[in-house]
Chain A
Amino acid sequence: GESVGLHLPTLSVQEGDNSIINCAYSNSASDYFIWYKQESGKGPQFIIDIRSNMDKRQGQRVTVLLNKTVKHLSLQIAATQPGDSAVYFCAENRSDKIYNQGGKLIFGQGTELSVKP
């Protein structure tokens, strides 16, 4: 169904601290997950992804953790910088088993990260 609330969850951190952004997904059959960063006035940019057969994946300054038992995804950003200020979205890939078309991404509401200098 549609989300009614227009208030994005927000996270405010001090520059240099670590940030943790959480996401709950809805479909236990989702097989692939992506974190995107969206700066004001721009399209979403890929940060990191993880497949459902993994529980952790690391990139440069970012780590994604997947807990399939509770359907939870988190994004950890190390040594957060002012340039990390943005809205972060998680997305889950839902495969179309009937038509075997691979799937489509369904996005969460997003979390606004604000980094204080």
Chain B
Amino acid sequence: NAGVTQTPKFQVLKTGQSMTLQCAQDMNHNSMYWYRQDPGMGLRLIYYSASEGTTDKGEVPNGYNVSRLNKREFSLRLESAAPSQTSVYFCASRLLAGLNEQFFGPGTRLTVL
């Protein structure tokens, strides 16, 4: 099992460009999450999908959109990147959105110039 995989690992964008971060899990988990992590800070939830077919906003959703493509895949889109979106992005999955652990991917380091 690969667990949670993310692509790309690194990305540099110019202000105003768009891109999609990809995430996939092979653990047959129902719930998937996108977080961002800024230097010296914890992880902040951007969006999540408690189950296939549903998505909900987290703490910091502005400037992002998500798509739960199927049970395995959950993508995060930046329509018009801004320097404030420079961060490390982590995808995570969980068997159920409840009393069980989340498994994290290795992260995508995004720089917006």
Contact = CB atoms under 8 A, between A and B. Distances in A.
A107 B101 contact: no
A15 B99 CA distance: 33
Contact of B97 (A3, A45, A102): A102
A8 B41 CA distance: 7
Contacts of B45: 104-106
Interface string A31-63: 110101000011111100101000000000000
B105 A32 contact: no
B64 to A, nearest CB: 15
B interface secondary structure, majority: loop
Interface string A15-39: 0000000000000000110101000
Contacts of A45: 104
A117 B78 CA distance: 44
B72 interface: no
B43 A102 contact: no
B104 A43 contact: yes
A107 B31 contact: no
B72 to A, nearest CB: 18
Contact of B41 (A3, A93, A99): A3
B2 to A, nearest CB: 13
Q: Interface extent on B, as a size class?
A: 20 to 34
Interface in A56-110: 89, 93, 95-96, 99, 101-110
Contacts of A104: 33, 45, 48, 58, 97
Contacts of A102: 31, 50, 96-99
A43 B99 contact: no
B44 interface: yes
A97 to B, nearest CB: 12
B101 A34 contact: yes
Nearest to A89: B42
Interface of A: 3, 5-8, 31-32, 34, 36, 41-46, 49, 51, 89, 93, 95-96, 99, 101-110
The 8 closest A-B pairs by CB, nearest first: A102-B97, A43-B104, A102-B98, A6-B40, A107-B42, A101-B50, A107-B43, A32-B99
